[in-house]
């Protein structure tokens, strides 16, 4: 199963042997792999150096549907062996079935930001071991996926890797993660001629340069921002367009980083909201009730993916599993409608969405103070594709541009124009109170395949790097 440049998923299993020319073609050149190792999810894309067709790894173990990324989690035994049992979606599924003598390890990328937390973890595991084993599992699965799409075994085809790292990582931290790639058997040494390291922001900017028509309209010397909003971390990086050499390049000017800011925080705040509505019900009293509670929380996934600015006037309904025993609550809660929990859009905005949106706006505000005129804000990452976040940013930009006598340019311009009048007083600078003089962001760009922008950008960058190291492919 492949994904083309325009996002189409191609199942090659239905092709006849004579018709599968791409699968049978000779691979005289190598493969370039982009790895976006994230704290919450990890993305992997690759391309053959000969044609550059982008292929995303969207089929992961124990994940029935095609999914752009795999969870960055590992499952370990708690006995003396402390061996890794599973990883990714499989780890989550296994842990959900049985938690006996097992521990789910996650958020270990965040520990790399803290030099004092890089040794032994609380459960007795070593951080470098966890990183190495997870990266090794990712790589083995990648090789399996590559083997499905070509005749030659992946092991016999030269591979150039382009990995991404946060801008905030120090040189020792980058060296540590490279050693993990060596220990995982992905590369033989560090530095390696077949590995390129770039920042996540640089990879995202590279992807936008090649895939966003809005990038073409940027002029030499103009400022643009990349907002990479993920699961638990959000980064805003400012670049300046540089066309001095006749080729469009960009120079990093500054960046801001925030932890505990992203889509995972939406999930946590939703959980808190539901627990407040179930006050008086002992969730842990019965195993069946615990599972029913987790099943109810899973209903937030659909709400989160569809929630936008207009949803504040709607009422959302989530099916309440029978095993939750909500009818034991006395009196019967007002939110119970038949077998559904009714949630108003206003409370979802106030309790779940708005606090996280404000955090992102504060980061953008911090950079906007130093760069008051921004030609474009490009949104990438899983949370970066959130409709409510995008609408809030676009509406704020629209209102500010209108006050300044200018127009706005956004892919959701019709929605912006229709709702700008109903928006509450909010600016990117100073939050809801607007205490500071606001900077101008001329356009908010919703990047296609935002969740894979970093991995795909790494491939694009790596293709150029690989061509400069042709000896690695001999």
Total number of domains in the chain: 3
Same domain, 438 and 467: no
Per the listing, tokens 């705040």 go with 269
Query: Which of 14-28, 347-361, 404-418 is modeled with the greatest confidence?
Result: 347-361
Q: Residue 296 is part of which domain span?
A: 263-351
Q: For the residues of 47-58, what is the DSSP string, one character each? A: EETTT---EE--
Residue pair 161/195 in contact by the 8 Å Cβ criterion: yes
Same domain, 134 and 176: yes
In a domain, 314, yes or no: yes
What is the rounded distance in angstroms from the CA atom of residue 193 to the CA atom of residue 161?
A: 9
117: pLDDT confidence band, cut at 50, 70 and 90?
low
Task: Answer whether residue 121 shows pLDDT above 90.
Answer: no
In a domain, 360, yes or no: yes
Are β-strands 223-229 and 233-242 bridged in parallel, bridged antiparallel, or unpaired? Answer: antiparallel
pTM of the model: 0.86
Task: Answer whether residue 14 shows pLDDT above 50.
Answer: no
Same domain, 329 and 438: no
154: pLDDT confidence band, cut at 50, 70 and 90?
low
**Residues 288-313 pLDDT 10s:** 999 999 999 999 999 999 999 999 99
Task: Answer whether residue 436 shows pLDDT above 50.
Answer: no
Same domain, 50 and 141: yes
Task: Answer whether residue 244 shows pLDDT above 50.
Answer: yes
In a domain, 104, yes or no: no
CATH of the domain at 417: 3.30.420.40
Same domain, 370 and 422: yes
Instruction: Report DSSP state, residue 168.
Output: T
Residue range 306-325: mean pLDDT, rounded: 94
Per the listing, tokens 């993660």 go with 177
**Residues 157-211 pLDDT 10s:** 889 999 999 999 999 999 999 999 999 999 999 888 999 999 999 999 999 999 9
pLDDT score of 152: 62
Same domain, 24 and 163: yes
Same domain, 401 and 459: no
Residues found in the chain: 474
Same domain, 309 and 268: yes
Same domain, 321 and 218: no
Task: Answer whether residue 424 shows pLDDT above 50.
Answer: no
Same domain, 167 and 279: no
């Amino acid at each position: 199963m492949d994904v083309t440049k325009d996002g189409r998923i191609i199942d090659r299993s239905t092709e006849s042997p004579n018709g599968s020319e791409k699968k049978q073609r000779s691979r005289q050149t190598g493969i370039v792999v982009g790895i976006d190792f994230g704290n919450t999810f990890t993305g992997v894309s690759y391309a053959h150096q000969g044609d550059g067709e982008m292929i995303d790894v969207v089929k992961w173990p124990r994940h029935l549907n095609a999914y752009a990324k795999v969870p960055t989690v590992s499952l370990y035994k708690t006995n003396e062996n402390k061996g890794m049992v599973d990883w990714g979606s499989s780890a989550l599924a296994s842990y959900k079935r049985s938690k006996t003598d097992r521990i789910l390890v996650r958020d270990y990328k965040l520990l790399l930001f803290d030099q004092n937390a890089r040794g032994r973890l609380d459960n007795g595991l070593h951080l470098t071991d966890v990183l190495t084993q997870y990266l090794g599992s990712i790589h083995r699965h990648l090789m399996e996926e590559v083997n499905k799409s070509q005749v030659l075994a992946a092991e016999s085809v030269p591979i150039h890797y382009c990995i991404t790292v946060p801008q905030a990582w120090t040189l020792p931290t980058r060296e540590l993660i490279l050693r993990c790639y060596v220990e995982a058997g992905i590369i033989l040494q560090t530095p390696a001629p077949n590995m390129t390291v770039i920042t996540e922001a640089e990879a995202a900017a590279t992807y936008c340069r090649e895939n966003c028509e809005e990038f073409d309209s940027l002029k030499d010397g103009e400022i643009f921002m990349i907002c990479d909003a993920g699961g638990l971390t959000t980064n805003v990086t400012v670049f300046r367009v540089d066309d001095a050499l006749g080729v469009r390049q960009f120079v990093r000017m500054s960046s801001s980083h925030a932890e505990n800011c992203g889509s995972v925080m939406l999930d946590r705040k939703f959980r808190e909201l539901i627990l407040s509505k179930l006050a008086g019900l002992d969730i842990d009293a019965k195993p069946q009730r615990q599972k029913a509670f987790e099943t109810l929380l899973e209903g937030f996934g659909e709400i989160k993916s569809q929630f936008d600015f207009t949803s504040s006037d709607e009422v959302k309904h989530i099916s309440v599993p029978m095993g939750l025993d909500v009818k034991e609550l006395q009196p019967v809660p007002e939110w119970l409608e038949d077998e559904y929990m009714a949630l108003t859009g206003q409370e979802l905005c106030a309790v779940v969405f708005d606090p996280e949106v404000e955090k992102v706006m504060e980061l953008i505000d911090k950079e906007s103070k130093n760069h008051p005129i921004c030609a474009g804000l490009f949104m990438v990452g899983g949370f970066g594709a959130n409709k409510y976040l995008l609408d809030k940013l676009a509406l704020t930009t629209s209102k500010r541009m209108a006050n300044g006598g200018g127009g706005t340019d956004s892919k959701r311009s019709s929605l912006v124009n229709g709702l700008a009048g109903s928006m509450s007083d909010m600016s990117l600078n100073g939050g809801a109170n607007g205490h500071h003089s606001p900077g101008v962001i001329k356009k908010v760009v919703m990047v296609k395949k935002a969740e894979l922008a970093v991995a795909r950008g790494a491939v694009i960058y790596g293709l150029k790097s690989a061509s400069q190291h042709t000896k690695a492919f001999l």
